[in-house]
Amino acid sequence: MQRVVLTVTKNEALTPLIYEMTLVGDVSGITRAGQFVEIALDGLYLRRPISVCNYDEGVLTIVYKVVGKGTDLMSQMAEGTQLDVLTGLGNGFDTEHDCKKPLLVGGGVGVPPLYRLTRDLVARGKEVTVVLGFNTESEIFYSEKFEALGAKVILATADGSQGVKGFVTDAIHESGVEADYFYSCGPLPMLKALCNSLDIAGEVSLEERMGCGFGICMGCSIHTTNGAKRVCKDGPVFKKEEVIW
């Protein structure tokens, strides 16, 4: 974990509620896809945990949804704003798994961390399929960016306005996806459905309310087959078989 000051260089809306922010500074603490950062905001006691979408030397990209006071404040930040950020939090995904055809599944704000994961897996020569789930067409973001990385992209919308009508599990079934391992991030019901329906091994990144973000307060503890685990410190990524739903 590193505490750094990062400067906003871009902050723009991708959809009415989804924003993409680019920050520059020392991001060397971020080493794996699936990690997250915690951002301090003026007037708010707790930092806001935001997943890492992408990172390069000196550049961090996050994609977040406006759901409350903290993220609303973030959406109004102008270029040049400086932020106090904890980086390199969480364990991240295992990109060294020997799978050949990984399946990546994201729902809503669970989509962003899969972008860097896709980039890393494609760079390793994997044949990547990405299934993205949204409520409706107007909420879709980043699908073209995943395709630009070289992944096959399948969309699912709950109302059928684009892609397969239904959930990500419906899209996987109807598309006849062939995969030997899966990675996923999204709401708990989606993750549970995936783990119950897929007969292959995989990893899930859990969303949980956090206090400290680095394992001290124990506020994000969950039950696993290995006892109580902290989503922020021991996760947010867990093996499929670890999670007790």
- pLDDT at residue 188, as a whole number: 93
Task: Find the mean pLDDT for residues 135-146.
Answer: 98
Kindly indicate the confidence band of residue 211, based on its pLDDT and cuts at 50, 70 and 90. Answer: confident
pLDDT at 208 over 80: no
Query: Can you tell me whether residue 193 is helix, strand or coil?
Result: helix
- The region of weakest confidence among 7-16, 20-29, 201-210 is 201-210
pLDDT given at position 125? 98
pLDDT classification of 209: cutoffs 50, 70, 90: confident
Higher local confidence (pLDDT), 222 or 137 = 137
pTM attached to this predicted model: 0.95
* Residue reference for tokens 């990690």: 35
CA distances from 91 to 68, 173, 227 (A): 26, 30, 18
Note the pLDDT of residue 222: 87
Helix (H) or strand (E) holding 71: helix 69-75
pLDDT average, residue stretch 31-48: 95
Domains and CATH numbers, the chain: 2-89 (2.40.30.10), 102-207 (3.40.50.80)
Going by pLDDT thresholds of 50, 70 and 90, the confidence category of residue 219 is confident
Q: 111-141: string of b/e by CB count within 10 Å (b at 16+)?
A: bbbbbbbbbbbbeeebbbbbbbbbeeeebbb
Residue of higher predicted confidence among 245 and 202: 202
**Token representation of residue 43:** 């007037």
Residue 216 pLDDT level (bands cut at 50, 70, 90): confident
What single letter denotes the amino acid at residue 101?
Answer: K
**Tokens in use for 13?**
């809306």
Predicted confidence (pLDDT) at residue 7 exceeds the cutoff of 90? yes
**Interval 141-163: pLDDT, tens:** 999 999 999 999 999 999 999 99
d(CA 206, CA 164): 24
Residue 106 CA neighbour count, 13 Å, CB half: 25
**CA-CA distance, 184 to 27, in Å (whole number)?**
24
- Give the chain's mean pLDDT: 95
Q: What is the pLDDT of residue 120?
A: 98
Q: Which two three-digit tokens encode residue 152?
A: 């096959």
What's the count of helices (H) and strands (E) in the chain, helices before strands?
A: 5, 15
Per-residue pLDDT band for 243 (boundaries 50, 70, 90) equals very high
Cα–Cα dist 153/115, whole Å: 12
Q: How confident is the model at residue 245, as a pLDDT?
A: 87
Nearest-angstrom CA–CA distance, 214 and 206? 15
- Report whether pLDDT(191) > 80: yes
